[in-house]
Amino acid sequence: MPLGERGGWDKSESRYCGVETDFNDDMPQLLSFNLSTGGFDFVVATLMDPSYRPSMMEKGSSVSHVLPFAGSDLVLSPSQWSSHIVGKISSWIDLDSEDEILRMDSETTLKQEIAWASHLSLQACLLPSPKGASCANYARCVNQILQSLNNMQLWLRIPLVKNDDDSMDCDQLSDSWELWNSFRLHCEHHSQLSIALDVLSSLPSANSLGRWFGEPVRAAIIYTDSFLTNARGYPCLSRCHQKLVTGFFNHSIQIVISGKLVHSLPGVSSDSAADNIGNNIESAHRHPLRPYLDYIAYLYQRMDPLHEQERFELGYRDYLQSPLQPLMDNLEAQTYETFEKDLVKYIQYQRAIGKALLDRVPDEEASSLTTVLMVVGAGRGPLVRASLQAAEETGRKLKVYAVEKNPNAVVTLHSLVRLEGWGNMVTIVSCDMRHWDAPEKADILVSELLGSFGDNELSPECLEGAQRFLKQDGISIPSSYTSFIQPVTASKLHNSIKSHKDLVHFETAYVVKVHSVARLAPSQAVFTFTHPNFSTKKSNQRYKRLRFEIPVDTGSAMVHGFTGYFDATLYKDVHLGIEPSTATPNMFSWFAIFFPLRKPVCIQPGSTLEVHFWRCCGSTKVWYEWCVASPYPSPIHNSNGRSYWVGL
Amino acid sequence: MPLGERGGWDKSESRYCGVETDFNDDMPQLLSFNLSTGGFDFVVATLMDPSYRPSMMEKGSSVSHVLPFAGSDLVLSPSQWSSHIVGKISSWIDLDSEDEILRMDSETTLKQEIAWASHLSLQACLLPSPKGASCANYARCVNQILQSLNNMQLWLRIPLVKNDDDSMDCDQLSDSWELWNSFRLHCEHHSQLSIALDVLSSLPSANSLGRWFGEPVRAAIIYTDSFLTNARGYPCLSRCHQKLVTGFFNHSIQIVISGKLVHSLPGVSSDSAADNIGNNIESAHRHPLRPYLDYIAYLYQRMDPLHEQERFELGYRDYLQSPLQPLMDNLEAQTYETFEKDLVKYIQYQRAIGKALLDRVPDEEASSLTTVLMVVGAGRGPLVRASLQAAEETGRKLKVYAVEKNPNAVVTLHSLVRLEGWGNMVTIVSCDMRHWDAPEKADILVSELLGSFGDNELSPECLEGAQRFLKQDGISIPSSYTSFIQPVTASKLHNSIKSHKDLVHFETAYVVKVHSVARLAPSQAVFTFTHPNFSTKKSNQRYKRLRFEIPVDTGSAMVHGFTGYFDATLYKDVHLGIEPSTATPNMFSWFAIFFPLRKPVCIQPGSTLEVHFWRCCGSTKVWYEWCVASPYPSPIHNSNGRSYWVGL
């Protein structure tokens, strides 16, 4: 039974909670006890008798021997198998043992168990954690399995461990992320290989934990002995654990409870009950782990309901979109509709225009002086409205030219002017701003041509064309904008791109509501453009070298690419932007942009990530190129804009 | 005029020697002086006036201005341009300068000069060495150029520098290989990007120099001041330099002489002559750099002529071949013909068989006891002949069964037996050894089923099938064999494989006469098979983890893959093999095998390269998988034999 509901919006997997059980050859009883009595949604159950070893089987009987599975596939219905059972692979297997017989037994057993689980159409199997720091043979075997697996996920169990003292004992695992990283690199980021984190009683630093939210974690296994005891004797979690579990909920990571009852609750005899989890259960009226489940459900239900913007964005999380090309293509009504709803954005514009009007026209000339304002890229009129409202608010006289190249939007503009009675103040110009022959020069040039990465929808080129009809002392709103990037772990985005199996998708920037990412360092400024710019030597080409320092307590981390943002100064102190540390609240017109890396780059603790970004301009297009120079040099991405460009 | 001839066999580029000149706007004169008077084969000549800077050009005249090229393309014939001129790109360019104007000027100039050189169909351009340790912008620009370049090669000039003290001064270049490596990684190993090494008066260690022979070095520029003076006052090179130059000759690397005459020779006034190299030359009867060229020619002519095996192998150097599948396919007559000529191999077999016969049959029973010997995989009979000769030599009585599955070879066998009159000693069996029902058991089983990597032509599986008819105390010749691998730099092989643009070719092992490779560490043993093996628990699966230590004085190096070899014990102390340190001399039946890496792995000085190799067996095929685990984990190559396998 699900942990709870968050206003009916969140259909996340994390509503379901599981329990890890011991081997039981009576699967129906196991299921009934844990689901009906216990209230869990699924069990993580061993499929094969733990005493089984292929090398101990009698030779000669090889034709007919039956594997020690827990009953036949008929003991449960197919939907019970697939909805309620996660197969737990025998935990004794050790494919990297020095003992060759154990190694061979492990390989045989692993392949047999996965084959059986596939036969049952289980949704997932839990693979035991690698036994040592070396995992190449285990990874090789799992990789072979992955090549021809049905839809089943393989959850590699990884203890959530990171020692900060960095002791150089090679065999001692100091950061379990490294183990995961080796394993998945050997398996080439296979999309069916994911993680089940073992949450222990002590937790690594927040920076170190953060990495996992960019990795494909599907489940978090919490041990009963990681729970504290509250005043009334019931289990609860530390504040750090609570925060982590909330993070899991927000990232569709399912909780699994594991272990025995270690809290003595009123009316429950802990020892005898504990023995009943997987075995003889007739006598137990109440599931011994129920209190832990209840606490997890409490944490789930306690979360804030999703607010409107979150609900809007839910469907877009980690979904890659190609950036708009508003200069080459004409936007559709639907797109205008969406952007026009972003009230916060237009309030900022109105404030900026108001301030500019006040600076431009002193109070004593308010009734005599008419300011000429041109909206370039007027679309269906929201900036025209903001301009007129700013004029009214500041008591300044305004003459507006609304320049728009999309003839379809111009139709709406005309109708709007008629409807609103703006005829005497607004002149509509159906023309590309770069080619318009303006009848007079403007005091203020207002535009909203910014993309998620600032200049990526060619605002610089458009405004360069438009500033011909701006007075020498005129004002451009925005007056400047800067792009930012930040290195991230984003295995989900990486795998989405990889699924296309081509170069082009790895050299394209995407607009995306980033959610399952780990932000590894604060963002840094990339390119800045200032308007107007009447210099004769100006160029819209840009080149920037950036060095990111990953906090030492993060540990090693994988960089799958860079999320990009912008921040724009509309006028003086009025800004607008999505750079996380300064983002304008409650604005939804822009998601981040994502620049992928063809080969993810692994950063060691304390080392520097050096990145180069170029904005290149040709006669018909503008494009970005990017590369990593350190810790090791990557190919230059998107050379000559071969994969991704914005048309002029 | 070429440096010399090596018996007419070597058509290598390294016969040609060039000279680096200063800018001269009279190209015909420059060419005539350096080729006719000087005796050089080509000049490395600046194409554009060194004082040119795009940013200094008058604005406004942009439509009609002429670039300061050395005359027009008409001053030389097209074939003169392409045969005798290497374009030297202006050495002032610095694309990674902090000075933005210099950076922009450099980019413009570089693109203009390359465009002009392409227009002239030059074979190569010499790019100046990057000015600092950072080269990302230079690489980005060159990479853009490479995307649409005609056939021209770009030689990146790299000083041959490596400081052993490893001082951690970041801006100081301590190992120029690192610079090259960054540049080529940014340009993704582009096949038209190669190296011109600047050879200075002091040389790095031999290990460090060795790396370059696995890299695409096309030219070596030797400065006149790197020459010493011999007893008669003439220029000569140090012993280390001589060895290096011989290495260049052997790897088709052209020598270019650069600098002024710095040796005062009888009858030549050094200063005035030096000024004449590129400029006013009427007065000079003799080219001032002629003595240096003469010395280089002397080194060339002094080299040993190629011996027969080298001449045979010349055409196979670095040429990738798919390994034979003699079990699945039947060999052709041509292939038998080639292998049968390898006398050394059969002498070793004959020695081994002789020793086995002596051990098996004491002198006193020589006339009474007949040894049963089976040649499994008899082909067209060379091992039958070797067996009979061994019997004759040792005075032992022999009965030979010649088992061969290829019906075409069996035809030849019958004819051979008839011709040689072996009818009473040799029985021909036309059958796959794995399925033959032998009429009696053998004392000695002789086979030659080894591939370049030992077991890679399935000798283990074949002999496992054949040992059924070997006596319990019988002898297998070979009695064991071991495969070996060695990490190598092999950019040429890497690029050959990359040209296929697919995964399959990067997961295939190739038979190849490796030549342009740098062997980075001694080879290590991988898999061993011993015959006969009557154990019941035997398996032909193998797994090996290897750790290679690259010598510290090598510096960083790129591992493009692994060359593989074998060594076989035929009988007791008689061995046969191609492992470099113990290779049987003058044997040509086997080239090495090459296992590529999909992404070359860069090894830092003193770090360990950990490699895993698997031999996997299925019901219809045998295959290898391999991966790197350290310094960073690679994908598992050839999972499930998806790309490369040997059919059973």
DSSP A226-273: G-EE-TTS-EE--HHHHHHHHHHHHTTPEEEEES---S--TT--HHHH
Contact list, A539 vs chain B (CB under 8 Å): 104
pLDDT at res. B276: 47
> How far from the centroid of its chain's Cα atoms is residue A494's Cα?
11
pLDDT tens-digit series, residues B174-201: 899 999 999 999 999 999 999 999 999 9
pLDDT at res. A173: 63
B564 three-class SS: strand
Alpha-carbon distance values, A626 to A321, A595, A610, B135, B530 (Å): 19, 8, 11, 14, 54
Contact list, A144 vs chain B (CB under 8 Å): 639-640
Active site residue A448: yes
Q: Which helix (H) or strand (E) holds B248?
A: helix B239-250
Length of chain B as a residue count = 648
DSSP B493-556: HHHHHHTT-SSGGGG--EEEB--S-EE-S--EEEEEEESS---TT--S-EEEEEEEE--GGG-S
- Tell me the mean pLDDT in the region A391-415: 95
pLDDT at B108 over 50: yes
Q: What is the ipTM of this complex?
A: 0.90
Instruction: Report how far apart the first and last C-alpha atoms of chain A are (Å, whole number).
Output: 55
Phi, psi of A439 (to 5 degrees): -75, -20
Q: How far apart are CA A626 and CA A594, in angstroms?
A: 12
User: Which residues does residue B182 pair with via DSSP β-bridges, in sequence order?
Assistant: none
Q: How far apart are CA A18 and CA B257, in angstroms?
A: 75
Instruction: Outline where A472-585 has alpha helix (H).
Output: 491-498
Look up residue B457 and give its two tokens. 């032509």
Q: Would the CB atoms of A545 and B136 count as touching at under 8 Å?
A: yes
For an interface test with A, give the residue of B98, B632, B638, B645 to mutate (most A CBs within 10 A).
Answer: B632
Look up residue B547 and give its two tokens. 């750790």
Catalytic residues of B: 448, 457
Q: How far apart are CA A353 and CA A445, in angstroms?
A: 10
pLDDT at res. A274: 45
Is B375 in contact with B474 (CB distance < 8 Å)? no
Q: Would the CB atoms of A186 and B634 count as touching at under 8 Å?
A: yes
Is B568 in contact with B576 (CB distance < 8 Å)? yes
How far is the alpha carbon of A506 from chain B, nearest alpha carbon, in Å?
15
Alpha-carbon distance values, A604 to A178, A634, B80, B606, B607 (Å): 10, 16, 53, 18, 15
pLDDT at A170 over 70: no
Chain A residue closest in CA terms to B543: A137
pLDDT at A358 over 80: yes
- Tell if the pTM clears 0.90, that is, is over it: yes
Alpha-carbon distance values, B65 to A389, B55, B59, B234 (Å): 53, 13, 10, 48
How far is the alpha carbon of B190 from chain A, nearest alpha carbon, in Å?
10
pLDDT at B9 over 80: no
Chain B residue closest in CA terms to A503: B501
Chain B residue closest in CA terms to A630: B182
pLDDT at B58 over 80: no
Q: Would the CB atoms of A632 and B188 count as touching at under 8 Å?
A: no
CA quadruple B460, B466, B472, B474: dihedral positive or negative? negative
Contact list, B627 vs chain A (CB under 8 Å): 136, 140, 186
Smallest CA-to-CA distance from B349 within B610, B575, B73 is with B575
User: Is residue B145 very low, low, confident or very high in pLDDT (cuts 50, 70, 90)?
Assistant: very high
DSSP A292-333: HHHHHHHHHHHSPPP-HHHHHHHTTBT--BPPP-TTTSPPPH
Rounded to 10 deg, the angle between the A290-302 and A239-250 helix axes is 70
For an interface test with A, give the residue of B639, B640, B642, B643 to mutate (most A CBs within 10 A).
Answer: B639
Which residues of B lie inside 8 Å of A (Cβ-Cβ)? Answer: 59, 103-104, 134, 136-137, 139-140, 143-144, 147-148, 181-182, 185-188, 536, 539, 541, 543, 545, 599, 602, 612, 614, 625, 627, 629, 632-636, 639-640, 642
B597 three-class SS: strand
pLDDT at res. B281: 45
pLDDT tens-digit series, residues B474-517: 999 999 999 999 999 999 999 999 999 999 999 999 999 999 99
How far is the alpha carbon of A243 from chain B, nearest alpha carbon, in Å?
33
Look up residue A330 and give its two tokens. 């004409």
B583 three-class SS: coil
> How far from the centroid of its chain's Cα atoms is residue B66's Cα?
45
Look up residue B97 and give its two tokens. 């300068």
Tell me the count of A-B CB pairs closer than 8 A.
Answer: 97
For an interface test with A, give the residue of B134, B178, B503, B636 to mutate (most A CBs within 10 A).
Answer: B636
Catalytic residue, from A457, A461, A507, A579: name it. A457
**Of A11 and A394, which is predicted with more confidence?**
A394
pLDDT tens-digit series, residues B429-442: 999 998 999 999 99
Q: Select the residue of B140, B545, B629 nearest A625 (Cβ to Cβ).
A: B140
Neighbours of A405 (CB within 10 A): 21
Mean pLDDT, rounded, of chain B: 91
Question: Tokens 């005035």 label which residue?
Answer: B272
Chain B residue closest in CA terms to A55: B537
Amino acid at the residue A337: E
How far is the alpha carbon of A106 from chain B, nearest alpha carbon, in Å?
14
